[in-house]
Amino acid sequence: MWALYAEASTRGYSRCQTPDCPIPGTVFHVKPLKRSARRSLLVAHVSVSVSWLGLTVGLLTLGITAFLTGDPTTAQAATRAMKIFGDWLVIPVALLSLLSGLVLALGTPWGLARHRWVWTKFWLTLITAALSIFSLRPGINEAATRGAVDINLVVAPSVATATYLFITAVSVLKPWGLTRRGRRLRILAGAGKGVDERSPHRTA
Protein backbone atom coordinates (compact mmCIF):
# COMPACT_ATOMS: atom_id res chain seq x y z
CA MET A 1 0.00 0.00 0.00
CA TRP A 2 1.34 3.39 -0.99
CA ALA A 3 1.50 5.70 2.02
CA LEU A 4 0.65 9.34 1.37
CA TYR A 5 1.87 12.03 3.72
CA ALA A 6 0.83 15.65 3.94
CA GLU A 7 3.41 18.09 5.26
CA ALA A 8 1.72 21.02 6.97
CA SER A 9 4.73 23.34 6.75
CA THR A 10 8.47 23.26 6.21
CA ARG A 11 9.29 26.56 7.88
CA GLY A 12 11.46 26.46 10.94
CA TYR A 13 13.12 23.15 10.06
CA SER A 14 16.79 23.25 9.19
CA ARG A 15 17.08 19.53 8.55
CA CYS A 16 15.03 16.35 8.24
CA GLN A 17 14.20 14.68 11.51
CA THR A 18 13.18 11.33 10.03
CA PRO A 19 14.74 9.03 7.41
CA ASP A 20 11.75 9.45 5.12
CA CYS A 21 11.53 13.22 5.38
CA PRO A 22 10.60 14.74 1.99
CA ILE A 23 12.52 17.44 0.19
CA PRO A 24 11.76 20.83 1.82
CA GLY A 25 8.79 22.50 0.20
CA THR A 26 7.12 19.25 -0.81
CA VAL A 27 3.41 19.34 -0.04
CA PHE A 28 2.56 15.71 -0.78
CA HIS A 29 5.08 12.94 -0.39
CA VAL A 30 4.76 9.27 -1.28
CA LYS A 31 7.02 6.97 0.69
CA PRO A 32 9.90 6.02 -1.65
CA LEU A 33 9.50 2.67 -3.35
CA LYS A 34 11.90 -0.10 -2.46
CA ARG A 35 14.26 -1.22 -5.20
CA SER A 36 12.40 -4.47 -5.90
CA ALA A 37 9.00 -2.76 -5.92
CA ARG A 38 10.28 0.01 -8.18
CA ARG A 39 11.71 -2.45 -10.69
CA SER A 40 8.57 -4.58 -10.72
CA LEU A 41 6.34 -1.55 -11.17
CA LEU A 42 8.60 -0.19 -13.91
CA VAL A 43 8.36 -3.47 -15.83
CA ALA A 44 4.58 -3.45 -15.42
CA HIS A 45 4.33 0.19 -16.53
CA VAL A 46 6.47 -0.32 -19.63
CA SER A 47 4.57 -3.50 -20.52
CA VAL A 48 1.13 -1.95 -20.22
CA SER A 49 2.25 1.22 -22.04
CA VAL A 50 3.58 -0.81 -24.97
CA SER A 51 0.33 -2.79 -24.91
CA TRP A 52 -1.62 0.48 -25.11
CA LEU A 53 0.38 1.52 -28.16
CA GLY A 54 -0.15 -1.88 -29.78
CA LEU A 55 -3.86 -1.76 -29.00
CA THR A 56 -4.17 1.64 -30.64
CA VAL A 57 -2.29 0.50 -33.74
CA GLY A 58 -4.62 -2.51 -33.93
CA LEU A 59 -7.70 -0.29 -33.66
CA LEU A 60 -6.27 2.00 -36.34
CA THR A 61 -5.70 -0.96 -38.67
CA LEU A 62 -9.23 -2.25 -38.16
CA GLY A 63 -10.69 1.24 -38.54
CA ILE A 64 -8.90 1.81 -41.85
CA THR A 65 -10.00 -1.62 -43.07
CA ALA A 66 -13.66 -0.99 -42.20
CA PHE A 67 -13.56 2.52 -43.68
CA LEU A 68 -11.94 1.61 -47.01
CA THR A 69 -13.40 -1.79 -47.74
CA GLY A 70 -16.33 -2.10 -50.08
CA ASP A 71 -17.35 -5.42 -48.58
CA PRO A 72 -20.05 -5.08 -45.88
CA THR A 73 -19.06 -8.43 -44.37
CA THR A 74 -15.45 -7.30 -43.92
CA ALA A 75 -16.59 -3.98 -42.45
CA GLN A 76 -18.84 -5.75 -39.94
CA ALA A 77 -16.07 -8.16 -38.96
CA ALA A 78 -13.65 -5.26 -38.43
CA THR A 79 -16.09 -3.26 -36.31
CA ARG A 80 -16.93 -6.32 -34.20
CA ALA A 81 -13.23 -6.90 -33.58
CA MET A 82 -12.86 -3.24 -32.60
CA LYS A 83 -15.74 -3.63 -30.15
CA ILE A 84 -14.08 -6.64 -28.52
CA PHE A 85 -10.89 -4.65 -28.03
CA GLY A 86 -12.88 -1.66 -26.80
CA ASP A 87 -14.99 -3.65 -24.34
CA TRP A 88 -12.16 -5.67 -22.81
CA LEU A 89 -8.93 -3.71 -23.17
CA VAL A 90 -9.33 0.06 -23.64
CA ILE A 91 -10.37 0.96 -20.08
CA PRO A 92 -8.06 -1.37 -18.07
CA VAL A 93 -5.01 -0.67 -20.25
CA ALA A 94 -5.55 3.10 -20.13
CA LEU A 95 -6.08 3.18 -16.36
CA LEU A 96 -3.19 0.82 -15.59
CA SER A 97 -0.81 2.90 -17.69
CA LEU A 98 -1.93 6.11 -15.98
CA LEU A 99 -1.88 4.77 -12.42
CA SER A 100 1.39 2.85 -12.69
CA GLY A 101 3.11 5.91 -14.14
CA LEU A 102 1.67 8.11 -11.39
CA VAL A 103 2.93 5.82 -8.62
CA LEU A 104 6.35 5.59 -10.26
CA ALA A 105 6.60 9.38 -10.48
CA LEU A 106 5.53 9.99 -6.89
CA GLY A 107 7.51 7.08 -5.44
CA THR A 108 10.86 7.96 -7.03
CA PRO A 109 13.14 11.04 -7.02
CA TRP A 110 11.75 12.08 -10.41
CA GLY A 111 8.59 13.38 -8.77
CA LEU A 112 5.44 14.36 -10.63
CA ALA A 113 5.90 18.10 -11.19
CA ARG A 114 9.67 18.50 -10.83
CA HIS A 115 10.72 17.64 -14.39
CA ARG A 116 9.04 18.97 -17.51
CA TRP A 117 9.11 15.62 -19.32
CA VAL A 118 7.35 13.82 -16.45
CA TRP A 119 4.75 16.59 -16.09
CA THR A 120 4.10 16.64 -19.85
CA LYS A 121 3.85 12.86 -20.02
CA PHE A 122 1.39 12.80 -17.11
CA TRP A 123 -1.00 15.29 -18.70
CA LEU A 124 -0.82 13.69 -22.14
CA THR A 125 -1.52 10.27 -20.62
CA LEU A 126 -4.41 11.65 -18.57
CA ILE A 127 -5.98 13.36 -21.59
CA THR A 128 -5.58 10.37 -23.91
CA ALA A 129 -6.94 8.00 -21.24
CA ALA A 130 -10.01 10.21 -20.78
CA LEU A 131 -10.59 10.48 -24.54
CA SER A 132 -10.14 6.73 -24.99
CA ILE A 133 -12.70 5.94 -22.30
CA PHE A 134 -15.30 8.65 -22.91
CA SER A 135 -14.99 9.24 -26.67
CA LEU A 136 -13.21 6.44 -28.53
CA ARG A 137 -14.97 3.55 -26.81
CA PRO A 138 -18.52 4.93 -27.35
CA GLY A 139 -17.61 5.62 -30.99
CA ILE A 140 -16.51 2.01 -31.42
CA ASN A 141 -19.76 0.75 -29.90
CA GLU A 142 -21.78 2.93 -32.27
CA ALA A 143 -19.77 1.72 -35.27
CA ALA A 144 -20.27 -1.91 -34.24
CA THR A 145 -24.03 -1.32 -34.11
CA ARG A 146 -24.04 0.17 -37.63
CA GLY A 147 -21.52 -2.30 -39.02
CA ALA A 148 -19.50 0.54 -40.56
CA VAL A 149 -17.16 3.33 -39.44
CA ASP A 150 -16.78 6.98 -40.37
CA ILE A 151 -13.59 8.99 -40.67
CA ASN A 152 -13.60 9.75 -36.92
CA LEU A 153 -12.60 6.17 -36.09
CA VAL A 154 -9.61 6.57 -38.39
CA VAL A 155 -8.55 10.00 -37.17
CA ALA A 156 -8.88 9.24 -33.44
CA PRO A 157 -6.61 6.16 -33.40
CA SER A 158 -4.16 7.99 -35.69
CA VAL A 159 -3.86 10.91 -33.27
CA ALA A 160 -3.66 8.52 -30.31
CA THR A 161 -0.88 6.50 -31.94
CA ALA A 162 1.11 9.65 -32.70
CA THR A 163 0.63 10.81 -29.10
CA TYR A 164 1.83 7.50 -27.65
CA LEU A 165 4.89 7.53 -29.90
CA PHE A 166 5.64 11.07 -28.71
CA ILE A 167 5.22 9.97 -25.08
CA THR A 168 7.59 7.07 -25.71
CA ALA A 169 10.20 9.41 -27.19
CA VAL A 170 9.85 11.79 -24.24
CA SER A 171 10.27 8.89 -21.79
CA VAL A 172 13.51 7.83 -23.47
CA LEU A 173 15.05 11.27 -24.11
CA LYS A 174 13.84 13.02 -20.91
CA PRO A 175 14.13 16.55 -22.37
CA TRP A 176 13.47 20.13 -21.16
CA GLY A 177 15.00 20.04 -17.68
CA LEU A 178 13.33 21.07 -14.43
CA THR A 179 10.03 22.86 -13.95
CA ARG A 180 9.84 26.04 -11.89
CA ARG A 181 8.74 23.93 -8.93
CA GLY A 182 11.62 21.51 -9.52
CA ARG A 183 14.17 24.33 -9.53
CA ARG A 184 12.71 25.76 -6.34
CA LEU A 185 12.81 22.39 -4.58
CA ARG A 186 16.41 21.83 -5.70
CA ILE A 187 17.42 25.22 -4.29
CA LEU A 188 15.64 24.50 -1.01
CA ALA A 189 17.20 21.05 -0.78
CA GLY A 190 20.66 22.51 -1.38
CA ALA A 191 20.06 25.20 1.24
CA GLY A 192 18.90 22.61 3.77
CA LYS A 193 21.98 20.49 3.12
CA GLY A 194 24.22 23.50 3.64
CA VAL A 195 22.58 24.22 7.00
CA ASP A 196 23.07 20.60 8.07
CA GLU A 197 26.77 20.73 7.22
CA ARG A 198 27.25 23.93 9.24
CA SER A 199 25.23 22.74 12.24
CA PRO A 200 27.46 21.87 15.26
CA HIS A 201 27.30 18.30 16.56
CA ARG A 202 25.81 18.22 20.03
CA THR A 203 27.18 15.84 22.63
CA ALA A 204 25.51 14.71 25.84
Q: Is residue 7 part of a domain?
A: no
Q: Phi and psi dihedrals of 28, rounded to 5? A: -115, 135
191 band by pLDDT with thresholds 50, 70 and 90:
confident
How confident is the model over 88-98, as a mean pLDDT? 97
User: For the chain, what is the domain count?
Assistant: 1
Q: Is residue 29 part of a domain?
A: no
Angstrom distance (rounded) from CA 113 to CA 110: 8
Q: Whole-model pTM above 0.85?
A: no
Res. 72: pLDDT tops 80 = yes
Sequence-distant (6+) residues with CB within 8 A of 155 are none
Q: Is residue 173 part of a domain?
A: yes
Range of the domain at 41: 34-178
Q: Is residue 95 part of a domain?
A: yes
Q: Is residue 190 part of a domain?
A: no
Percent of residues, the chain, with pLDDT higher than 90: 72
Q: Is residue 20 part of a domain?
A: no
Q: Is residue 105 part of a domain?
A: yes
- The answer to whether the beta carbons of residues 91 and 133 sit under 8 Å apart is yes
Q: Is residue 53 part of a domain?
A: yes
Task: Compute the half-sphere exposure of residue 9: CA atoms within 13 Å on the CB side of its CA.
Answer: 3
The CA-atom distances, in angstroms, between 187 and each of 131, 162, 193 are: 38, 36, 10
Task: Compute the half-sphere exposure of residue 49: CA atoms within 13 Å on the CB side of its CA.
Answer: 24
How confident is the model over 20-30, as a mean pLDDT? 49
How confident is the model over 84-113, as a mean pLDDT? 95
Res. 204: pLDDT tops 90 = no
